[in-house]
Amino acid sequence: MTVVTPELLRRYDVPGPRYTSYPTADRFVEAFGDDDYILALKQRKVTAAAKQPMSLYVHIPFCESLCYYCACNKIITKHHERAVTYMRYLEREVDLHLQHCGRGQVVSQFHVGGGTPTFLTDEELRELWRMLGQRFDFDPAGEYSIEVDPRTVTRERLAVLKEIGFNRLSFGVQDFDPEVQKAVHREQPAEQVFDLVAASRELGFESINVDLIYGLPKQNAESFARTLKQVAALRPDRIALYAYAHLPERFKPQRRILQEDLPSAPDKVSMLSSSIESFIAAGYVYVGMDHFALPEDALAIAKRQGRLHRNFQGYSTQPDCDLIALGVSAIGRVGATYSQNAKTLEEYYDLLDQDRLPVVRGLALTRDDTIRRAVIMTIMCQGEVLYESINSAWLIDFKKYFATEIEALASQQEEGLVEIVDDCIKVTAKGWFFVRGVALVFDRYLQADRTRARFSRII
């Protein structure tokens, strides 16, 4: 870690995509609609992909209270009866999918996100699982995860989640400091989180993730160091460490955060640097970008074995596969297409009432898109691009096709972030901390359009 200096972190602190997809979602177009998506579903049904396991994602948009930092698509309400209507429309959306891709397809990965998925009652969560289980074939060895707001669950609720079939949990912690929690309107005692994580282990969940955010109001290097110490004591299997991106002009809830309460840029760099040092010292493997895992966790094992993949939920141990995304604003991938559902409940419900899939925008990838996606995802997941493997898969000459990009990486090679040799490009141990900066060199859209303000900063 001594080679990853604050100066280097500061120099590479530029806006850039997180590359949960390529092309990124800002490139989706409204010209891509439900007819295009249906064609992709039908093509999956008649190709070899139909025999491959798929992933499912369900978006639950409801939250009882507003977290000021949040940039997710959510609906703040205490009226839990709204979930009853939403569940009915989710079932309708699933059945419309099955008309085009068929029943009984194998699912190896299922994730419920939000919003606050635990806004749903125990019985509603059971019904969601039953509804999907009747229509898809859930692999007994699959990964089934749900995002958990610690304020909405008890030991008893965790036991219900385990009994339903979930085997992985992700707790939204963000920061343990009471002043920071108050500033972002998300107060949850550290003791509550420790108790819930202990209960999760007793219940036998396979992996427990904790989300943290640095750069929040009232945070400073000293206060965040206390949080890091508590997280090390908590010892979750995985840690996701995100940088807060203050974009009040885009996300209305963030307007409640005072600019003067935000930590300075040097403080943010200090927080990131100390976080990396703290987690590595505590025995965590740096998986990539903003993810850490204990050496025995499946994510760290997949990293060592070269089996790491990336999808809209982040790093994954599951093979690269199609993703069916359900619910308002959900983004999916089928074949060489991406699609996104309507972002408001009104439009989402209206399209389903017309017996139409609620897809309102997306993208059909070009050949160049798929080649670049392969390169970018290989960089993000394996940290090494072998020219011959890309040449064989896509019938190109890598050095000629990406001559401009290889030249652009020269400065990163001088910094010790990458090694460029005759047969490959390799991300160094130091370069892993800036892997987004390496990948974006191959992003044709970003290189053609230097307007990056819409993206969060890499650091």
Q: Rounded distance, CA 438 to CA 459, Å? A: 13
> In terms of Cα–Cα distance, which of 312, 301, 302 is closest to 55?
312
Say if pTM beats, i.e. exceeds, 0.85: yes
Q: Which residues contact 20 (CB under 8 A, 6 or more apart)?
A: 310, 311, 312, 313, 314
Query: Using 50, 70 and 90 to split pLDDT, how confident is the model at 171?
Result: very high
Q: What is the pLDDT of residues 241-287, one digit of tens each?
A: 988 988 898 889 999 999 999 998 788 888 888 898 899 999 999 88
The pLDDT assigned to 235 comes to 97
With left for phi above 0 and alpha for psi between -120 and 50, is residue 283 left, alpha or beta?
Answer: left
Mean pLDDT of 293-322: 88
Mean pLDDT of 99-126: 94
The pLDDT assigned to 285 comes to 93
DSSP string covering 363-432: EEPPHHHHHHHHHHHHHHHTSEEEHHHHHHHHT--HHHHTHHHHHHTHHHHHTTSEEE-SSEEEE-TTGG
Query: Using 50, 70 and 90 to split pLDDT, how confident is the model at 14?
Result: confident
Mean pLDDT of 208-213: 96
Q: Which two tokens stand for residue 268?
A: 């943010």
The pLDDT assigned to 276 comes to 87
Query: Using 50, 70 and 90 to split pLDDT, how confident is the model at 306?
Result: confident
Q: Which of 145-159, 269-283, 355-369 has the lowest mean pLDDT?
A: 269-283
The pLDDT assigned to 455 comes to 64
Mean pLDDT of 198-207: 97
Domains 1-13+366-447 and 14-324 share a fold: no
pLDDT higher than threshold 50 for residue 34: yes
pLDDT higher than threshold 60 for residue 450: no
pLDDT higher than threshold 60 for residue 451: no
pLDDT higher than threshold 50 for residue 345: yes
Helix (H, G, I), strand (E, B) or coil at 140: strand
Domain 14-324 adopts which CATH fold?
pyruvate-formate lyase- activating enzyme (3.80.30)
The pLDDT assigned to 1 comes to 46
The pLDDT assigned to 2 comes to 44
The pLDDT assigned to 247 comes to 86
The percent of residues in the chain predicted with pLDDT above 90, rounded, is 75
Query: Using 50, 70 and 90 to split pLDDT, how confident is the model at 3?
Result: low
Q: In what order do the strands lie in the sheet with 337-341?
A: 285-288, 291-293, 238-243, 207-214, 168-174, 136-148, 105-114, 54-60, 323-326, 331-334, 337-341, 359-364
Tell me which of 50 and 414 has the higher pLDDT. Answer: 414
Tell me which of 321 and 233 has the higher pLDDT. Answer: 233
Mean pLDDT of 424-435: 88
Query: Using 50, 70 and 90 to split pLDDT, how confident is the model at 95?
Result: very high
> In terms of Cα–Cα distance, which of 118, 110, 241 is closest to 173?
241
pLDDT higher than threshold 80 for residue 18: yes
The pLDDT assigned to 441 comes to 94
The alpha carbon torsion through 145, 184, 25, 166 (nearest 10 deg) reads 10
Q: What is the pLDDT of residues 45-90, one digit of tens each?
A: 888 677 889 999 999 999 999 999 998 889 999 999 999 999 999 9
Hey, where are the domains in the chain? 1-13+366-447, 14-324
β-partners of residue 63 are: 76
- Strands 207-214, 238-243: parallel, antiparallel or unpaired by DSSP? parallel
pLDDT higher than threshold 90 for residue 434: no
Averaged confidence pLDDT in the chain: 92
Q: Which of 144-153, 261-270, 408-417 has the lowest mean pLDDT?
A: 261-270
Q: Does 1-13+366-447 carry CATH code 3.40.50.10090?
A: no
Tell me which of 222 and 9 has the higher pLDDT. Answer: 222
